[in-house]
Amino acid sequence: MLDFGGQYSQLIARRVRECGVFSELLPHHVPLEEIKRRKPRGLILSGGPASVYSEDAPRLRPELLELGIPVLGICYGMQAMVLSLGGRVEAAEVGEFGRSRLTVIEPGCLLAGLPAEQACWMSHRDTVFQPPPGFTALASSSESPVAAIEDVQRGLYGIQFHPEVVHTPHGTEILTTFLGGACGCDLDWSPASVIDEQIADIRARVGDGRVVCGLSGGVDSSVAALLVHRAIGDQLTCVFVDHGLMRKGEGDQVIAAFRDHFKVPLVAVDAEERFLARLAGITEPEAKRKVIGAEFIRVFEEEAAKLGDPKFLVQGTLYSDVIESGGGTGAATIKSHHNVGGLPEDLRFDLVEPLRGLFKDEVRQVGSELGLPDRLVWRQPFPGPGLGIRIVGGEITKERLDILRDADWVLMDEIKAAGLYRNLWQSFCVLPADVRTVGVQGDERSYGHVIVVRAVTSDDAMTADWARLPYDLIEKISSRMINEIPAVNRVVLDVTSKPPGTIEWE
């Protein structure tokens, strides 16, 4: 897939994989040689925000349509194809955004077997009015006289609507027709097929070298560690640094799963005292992150030295990270990641990154396939600096951490009991450090801590909405926290989305 900057590009790449075909997403300007080297069976041109007529619009190189493989243009991709082959694209008087109706004029190959009328999702202002010579117009919509085209002889296809979103109910069938029919793919790829491939790769790369992995308990590092362990067994040692900012029972769970169940050599470092001593007196959020990050690296390096300085380091880098830092093709960085609580890039290790080709949901599938327990496979994201960035506006102390851990435990218990854990991107508590409020408990005045409950839904943490938890559940969470944690006498709910808020408070 070539990315012209569309907001759904990653989603198209994932959908193609869900159809059973391995896909890679590359920037639209990637050198032709890079594309040929991959020997693709077909090419998809994504949508994009530009008008094909604007001066700085990304151009479609005509050679891409002459590679001898089928090409499907989606939205901008179709318009760029039409323009480059002599069709007519114009700015329409009104744009077409959101749900629309597609009327099939002539099903051709691409729309064969689909209903004559169907819903589809549009997001465009420029519109194709005339397909290029040799193409058949297959469908129209109220604002698009030409909404789907094909030239079967040349293997060129285009659709104005977005087949990858759920609001185009027949979208997956259209993608499947392109992939299985036009491209002749077998539709049998699955994330699990990465397992054998990666095991062979890791063995070849590492030989009899020693490998270390920083295990955090999150799904990415867990799956990466298991895969590497499958490949090279006890040449791998995992290091789990407990910085004292974990949630209740979290360290024990990781140790039980890896050391006891999977028999992976695991060094668990209890570094709580070190971290708390370093954090004493620090209240500013960025300063906290820096101290936690730097101390983490120090502890990790000490442990690696004790292991005889292994040559290789396992990292749970995902395909979305690879795409966002330029698709591995040296293109411009779109987003830099905050990696506090992780390891910096200039460490003196060779990296082993077995998940580099997988999206998050695919990593979960691989984790299940490798036998990782559900509670680790489906764990909500947890930041590297842990509870350290959830004690806000004051110093991090053991006492405050314990209050926050107890509150977090109650929240998670209730969220899980209500069956909502997987529906939420994250649910957690925040403790405003230096805030006390007056209450009345057992006929006596109390002066206690406030717990903030934060629960959000999100797809990728870039944006998030506050979760509409049922009132009865909120009531239960609140009364349990106040009854079970003596230091707490008030519970409040955070109703801020992102933007304008961030998910974490610091």
Catalytic, 162? Answer yes
- Of 329 and 502, the one with the shorter C-beta distance to ligand XMP is 502
Is residue 248 involved in binding ligand XMP (CB under 6 A)? no
Is residue 340 involved in binding ligand XMP (CB under 6 A)? yes
Catalytic, 337? Answer no
Out of 158, 163, 341, 354, the only residue in the binding site for ligand XMP (CB under 6 A) is 341
Q: Give the CA distances from residue 46 to residues 12, 51, 75, 89, 167, in Å, rounded to whole numbers and listed in that order.
A: 8, 14, 7, 17, 17
Is residue 167 involved in binding ligand XMP (CB under 6 A)? no
Structure-block tokens of residue 23: 């896909």
* 182-220 burial: b if 16+ Cβ within 10 Å, else e: bbebeeebebeebbeebbeebeeebeeebbbbbbbbbbb
Q: Which of 18, 24, 164, 303 is catalytic?
A: 164
Out of 6, 214, 357, 383, the only residue in the binding site for ligand XMP (CB under 6 A) is 383
Out of 235, 426, 478, 489, the only residue in the binding site for ligand XMP (CB under 6 A) is 426
284-323 residues near ligand XMP, rule: CB under 6 A: 289
Q: Of 78-86, 181-189, 280-288, 381-389, which part binds ligand XMP (CB under 6 A)?
A: 381-389
| Distance (Å, whole) CA 109 – CA 272 | 63
Residue 501 CB, nearest distance to ligand XMP (Å)? 8
Residue 340 CB, nearest distance to ligand XMP (Å)? 3
| Distance (Å, whole) CA 12 – CA 1 | 8
| Distance (Å, whole) CA 345 – CA 337 | 11
Q: Of 253-261, 327-335, 361-369, 379-387, which part binds ligand XMP (CB under 6 A)?
A: 379-387
Q: What sign has the CA pseudo-torsion 423, 429, 430, 436?
A: positive
Residue 289 CB, nearest distance to ligand XMP (Å)? 6
449-478 residues near ligand XMP, rule: CB under 6 A: 461
Catalytic, 75? Answer yes
Q: Are 118 and 159 in contact (CB under 8 A)?
A: no
Is residue 502 involved in binding ligand XMP (CB under 6 A)? yes
Is residue 354 involved in binding ligand XMP (CB under 6 A)? no
Out of 163, 327, 357, 384, the only residue in the binding site for ligand XMP (CB under 6 A) is 384
| Distance (Å, whole) CA 475 – CA 96 | 44
Structure-block tokens of residue 29: 């300007």
H or E segment at 327?
A: none
H or E segment at 117?
A: strand 117-130
Concatenated DSSP letters of 256-310: IIIIIIS---EEEEE-HHHHHHHHTT---HHHHHHHHHHHHHHHHHHHHHHTT--
Is residue 247 involved in binding ligand XMP (CB under 6 A)? no
| Distance (Å, whole) CA 121 – CA 165 | 7
Is residue 367 involved in binding ligand XMP (CB under 6 A)? no
Is residue 278 involved in binding ligand XMP (CB under 6 A)? no
List the catalytic residues: 75, 162, 164
Binding site for ligand XMP (CB under 6 A): 289, 338, 340-341, 381, 383-385, 426, 461, 498, 502-504
